[in-house]
Structure formats: C-alpha cells, structure tokens
Copies of this chain bind each other. A is one copy, B any other.
C-alpha cells in the first residue's frame, strides 16, 4: 500500500494569463468567444490553455446563465424493487435519448431513504439542474413539494393522485386492467382472482380498480391478495395465499409480469398446470413475459415512450412552451401469449 498523488489542483484563468503573458480579461474574452482580441494574443492564449490544461468552470457559468443544461431523473424506489422493476431501465434510457437529442445532460438521482430525500431536495434546490423527471412519486412525496416550491420545470412518469395539475405522462392503468381482465374472463374462467400490488401508488390502485370494474357484480374480495411490491417473491406469496383461500381458483390477474412469474412458480409447486388448470395474465410486457414457461399474456407498457414523453414535457417548459393539461396517456396494447 503506497499513496498515489493527491488531487491535482485545477488550472484557473489566472494560470492561463500568466502562461500567455496577457491579462485575465483578455483570456476571459477568448474563452467567452468575444471580439477585440488580436490574432497573436488569441494564439498565445489557446496554446496556454492547452498547456496548463485549463477547462472553463461551467458551475460558474451556470451561476451567470442560471442554466445548468442538466435535467434530473429521480427514481424513488426501495433498492430491491429498483433491481426487479422491468420498466425503470427503459424509462431511464428513453428519457436519456430524448434529453441527449436536445443537448441536455440527464443526471439520475436515486432516493432510497429519508436521508436520500433530504439530500436530493438540497441538490435540486442548489441550481444543479434546470428541470426534473420524477418516477414513482408517492402521495405527499416531499420531493414533489420541493420542485413545486422551486418552480422547477417538472414532469412525472405516472403521477401522484394529490397533484393532478402537474404535467405527467402515463398509461391508463385502470382501463388497461379492465380490458385485460375482460379478455381473461372471455376465455371461460369462472373463479378469477387478482394479486394486487403496490396499492400505495396510482398504478397499483388503478389496476385493482380496473379488475373490479371488469368483474362487476361477480367481484369477490376473497379472490384478491394484496402484496406490497411489484416483485417476483411477492407473486409467489400472493399466489400461495389465493390457493389457500380459494383452491378452486382458475384465473389470475397478476399486477405485473414479475408478480405473474412468481405466481407461476407457486402454481408449479402446487401441481397446477398453466394455462390448463389456471389462466395467468401479467402486466408490463417486460423481459419476464417472454422468458417464463409458458410465456405471459400481458399488457404492453410503453416504457421507453414514457421516459421520452416525460423528457419532452420538461423540454417544452424549458423552451417556455405550453404543456398539455391533464397529462399524456400512451396506448397499451394487450399481448396475448400462452399463459391464458
């Protein structure tokens, strides 16, 4: 173990001026591309910049310009879910591409704890970003209050129910869930249940509401198991509970593909065939849907489009343009495979 050289000192405009033998003002005019600098002074300064390794400090510029040319992408998820969620990665990349096209730097911030919340709030307050995309906001989310207070251009992927008037892009979870459940019922299943997940979010609550809509008077609360997260392990648990409560169950709407994959495992363990004994449908059309045995019938979630759409809503605000009130809802086709 030997030490490596300590942090090198950053070259300043002063170092350039000394090296070039000119005033700092002249260096500043060259750096900022202003006129009235002789060709020889410009050449000397450019050589000096190269030699001392000077790079303009954009944090300083952002102070003057009040612009950082960066947009925050905030993910508010427990760690375990961040790793399991099939959509976050695609939403992130969809947003990155759209922001990159507009020459904005996307900076992704993860909130996993109370302390993270406070620190991200400070960061947002600090002028480091010009706008924010928020994924997975919950009701009464302190981050939502911070962006409101700062007046930062913001867009949500999905949207907390208590903030209907902020721009968002999402899908109609309720309608998608209703359509999918109706499709499952149309295959002739008699005892159709649901593994509901994440009921503290609009997506989770809306999927359950859509399921209830489709069943109408046939709705039986004993056929609904509620699990906290859109996760594989939660799906295993939820399916076991449903099998325990209603051994005659013959159809299941799992609130996500990961939940459905877990349900398939529990059904396999219980000796039930899919789709023979029990028809199973998921939600998301993620990588899970194509890799389970059998592959899942599900709803396609336009994850990349959600990210790109949210980025566009922030960019519209940054350009001073109007954004649609009530948000954008993207289309969610049903993809029918072999699990129901």
Given A58-B126, A59-B62, A100-B119, A110 and B92 contact (CB-CB distance below 8 Å): yes
A292 and B6 CA atoms in complex are apart in Å by 47
Point out the residue from B56, B107, B293, B322 that lies within 8 Å of A4, measured CB to CB. Answer: B322
Among residues of B, the one whose C-beta sits closest to the C-beta of A77 is B93
Count of this chain's copies in the oligomeric assembly: 2
Classify chain A: how many residues form its interface, as a range: 35 or more
CB distance from A285 to the nearest CB of B (A): 14
A128 and B153 CA atoms in complex are apart in Å by 20
Given A4-B167, A70-B128, 20 more pairs with CB closer than 8 A: A1-B322, A2-B322, A3-B322, A4-B322, A4-B325, A7-B151, A7-B320, A53-B151, A55-B149, A55-B150, A57-B126, A59-B127, A79-B93, A83-B93, A93-B110, A100-B113, A105-B109, A106-B110, A108-B108, A128-B128
Mind listing 21 A-B residue pairs with CB under 8 Å? A6-B320, A8-B151, A9-B151, A55-B125, A56-B125, A57-B127, A58-B122, A58-B126, A60-B63, A61-B126, A82-B89, A83-B89, A83-B287, A93-B110, A97-B112, A100-B113, A100-B119, A105-B122, A107-B107, A107-B109, A108-B110
**Residues on A facing B (Cβ under 8 Å):** 1-4, 6-10, 53, 55-63, 66, 68, 70, 79, 82-83, 89-90, 92-93, 96-97, 100, 103, 105-110, 112-113, 115-116, 119-120, 122-123, 125-128, 149-151, 153, 165, 167, 287, 293, 317-318, 320, 322-325
Nearest first, the 8 closest Cβ-Cβ pairs linking A and B are A58-B126, A8-B151, A3-B322, A59-B127, A108-B108, A107-B107, A55-B125, A57-B127
